[in-house]
Amino acid sequence: MQTLRDEWGVNLLRMACYVTQYNGYTNGGQSLIDSKIVEGVQAAKELGMYVIVDWHIHEENPHTTKTVAEQFFKKYATLYKDYDNVIFEICNEPTGIQWYTGGNDLYSYCKDIAGIIRDCGSKALIVCGTNNW
């Protein structure tokens, strides 16, 4: 990361935490992903860089893994509530869902997960993906 910062001028690292794909968080990768988040956030803080913790939903309905997402963001929003370099992306590319239907939709997912982050005392920026790129 230091090379990215010092030689390329990068000041933000995006940590894509796959949820269901590629040995993701819900199918065997939780321990590795958790350790990489802790390592990445700490390194970014020490280097004066920002970091996006990205719950990487790709072409699926985020409600499918919402319970795990709630636990994930409660854990990391609590852990990093006093960090000013952490940004939470609560679902990336959730193209398998409608924006608003009055229920099981992207709007309600984003509202609920953002609420969990705020309830933990975090003032971090929150990025909400959209259902159409």
- For residue 67, give the CATH number of its domain: 3.20.20.80
Q: What is the pLDDT of residue 133?
A: 64
Please tell me the pTM assigned to this model.
Answer: 0.92
Q: Which domain holds residue 119?
A: 2-128
* Structure confidence by residue, pLDDT tens digits, 1-14: 899 999 999 999 99
| Better-predicted residue by pLDDT, 62 or 41 | 41
Q: What is the pLDDT of residue 122?
A: 97
Residue 116 resides in a domain: yes
Residue 53 CB contacts under 8 Å (≥ 6 apart), including other chains: 15, 17, 37, 41, 76, 86, 87, 88, 89
Residue 19 resides in a domain: yes
Residue 133 resides in a domain: no
Q: What is the pLDDT of residue 61?
A: 85
Residue 92 resides in a domain: yes
* Structure confidence by residue, pLDDT tens digits, 28-60: 999 999 999 999 999 999 999 999 999 998 778
Token representation of residue 78: 């609590």
- Whether 19 and 56 have beta carbons less than 8 Å apart is answered as yes
| Better-predicted residue by pLDDT, 57 or 122 | 122
Q: What is the pLDDT of residue 103?
A: 76
Q: What is the pLDDT of residue 70?
A: 98
Rg (CA), the chain: 15
* CA–CA gap between residue 115 and residue 91 (Å, rounded): 14
Q: What is the pLDDT of residue 98?
A: 81
* CA–CA gap between residue 4 and residue 61 (Å, rounded): 33
Helices (H), 23-65: 30-47
Average pLDDT of the residues of the chain: 92
Residue 82 resides in a domain: yes
Residue 38 resides in a domain: yes
Instruction: Give the chain's domain count.
Output: 1
Pick the closest to residue 30 from 15, 20, 43, 44 (CA basis): 20
